[in-house]
Amino acid sequence: MQTIKGPALFLAQFAGDAAPFNTWPDITRWAADCGYVGVQVPSWDARLFDLDKAAASKGYCDDFKGQAAANGIAVTELSTHLQGQLVAVHPAYDTAFDGFAAPQVRGNPKARAEWAVDQVKKALTASRNLGLTAHATFSGALAWPYVYPWPQRPAGLVEEAFDELARRWRPILDHAEDCGVDVCYEIHPGEDLHDGISYEMFLERTGSHTRACMLYDPSHYVLQHMDYLENIDIYHDRIRMFHVKDAELNPTGRQGVYGGYQSWVNRAGRFRSLGDGQVDFGGVFSKLTQYGFDGWAVVEWECCLKHPEDGAREGADFVKAHLIRVTEKAFDDFAGSGADRAANRRMLGLD
């Protein structure tokens, strides 16, 4: 066992055009002031990070890390959530997701997917240059519009979708292997990898690729009414990243998991700031510590009610309170009687 690292903060929800959120030195200084010791970096946000330079230059990466370290902050991981989403897009979502892509590939799904694959590969190379061993992303989705089995799905439809998804990701996973970096898919509704079974379907088609790992976020399991603690028991050997995010599911006689097309604040299932939702984080941190998770506890602030800066500051203290400093001895060592094989055999009636 070992103590989970943290607290860290995912910067995607905080980067902006106003100070201190618009430059790398300022946002890391602000994160440290909030109580964080690490940050997860959205690789698409040019206000904070130049992905092309990071993939091409270890010197750039050393300077990038050095500026953060000067503020007491470590770079925990890079994220390609937006680019990973574009590796596989069902045509129904072409317009909605085009805004994630570079202007020159918008309106061209084939070029957009090629651009997305290149982006994720660059981020993996950049991760290696930064000395990181895990990378956060989305899988994208081809089958998601058919998640509910009505109308009846034609035989082979889902299998074809997952075959294609694995075909697109296999070269990326092989590049991840070359870089020594785990690809951690956030298991998330809207992605074809949205629960344990769909992850297993993908994993099987990649030949159980050693780099096809999981980003564990219990909030997404609460909103699907899944057992998020047993999920750790099942997949702990594949969980290489952890988003600390809270959620609540309060179904009524009018709506449940699907939400009735309501805004986040009016949905039965909604994300909340840490401690304001229903996730048993004592259980989560205990399970991950039990299984030797050696990554970071990264706060991902998403809340339909609370101000983000309040959520961030409270989140740092929340994680600190849940980190478990692991013991180096058993609690009953005081009553130990030593090791004596002859005595053991006598106790068992073997002599």
Residue whose entry in the numeric block shows the structure tokens 């040019």: 46
pLDDT over 70 for what percent of the chain?
98
CATH number of the domain enclosing 31: 3.20.20.150
- The pLDDT assigned to 334 comes to 58
pLDDT at 1: 82
pTM, to two decimals: 0.95
Mean pLDDT, the chain, as a whole number? 96
pLDDT digits (tens, 9 = 90+) for 111-152: 999 999 999 999 999 999 999 999 999 999 999 999 999 999
DSSP 197: H
Q: How confident is the model at residue 201 (pLDDT cuts 50, 70, 90)?
A: very high
The helix, strand and coil proportions of the chain, stated in percent and rounded to the nearest 5, come to: 45, 15, 40
pLDDT digits (tens, 9 = 90+) for 208-237: 999 999 999 999 999 999 999 999 999 999
Whether 327 has a pLDDT exceeding 80, the answer reads: no
pLDDT tens digits for range 21-55: 999 999 999 999 999 999 999 999 999 999 999 99
Per-residue pLDDT at 333: 66
pLDDT for res 62: 98
Dihedral sign for Cα atoms in the order 291, 293, 299, 300: negative
Helices 58-70/109-130 angle, 10° precision: 60
78-108 as b/e, with b when 16 or more CB fall inside 10 Å?
bbbbbbbbbbbbbeebeeebbebbeeebbee
The DSSP symbol for 278 reads S
- Predicted local confidence at residue 229, as pLDDT: 98
* Total tally of structural domains belonging to the chain: 1
Counting every residue, how long is the chain?
A: 351
- 164 φ, ψ (degrees, to nearest 5): -70, -40
**Distance between CA 62 and CA 286 in Å, rounded?**
34
Residue 213 lies in domain: 5-347
Confidence of residue 329 (pLDDT cuts 50, 70, 90): confident
* 173-199 mean pLDDT: 98
Place of tokens 């697109």: 168
Closest-CA residue to 82 (of 111, 48, 123, 53): 123
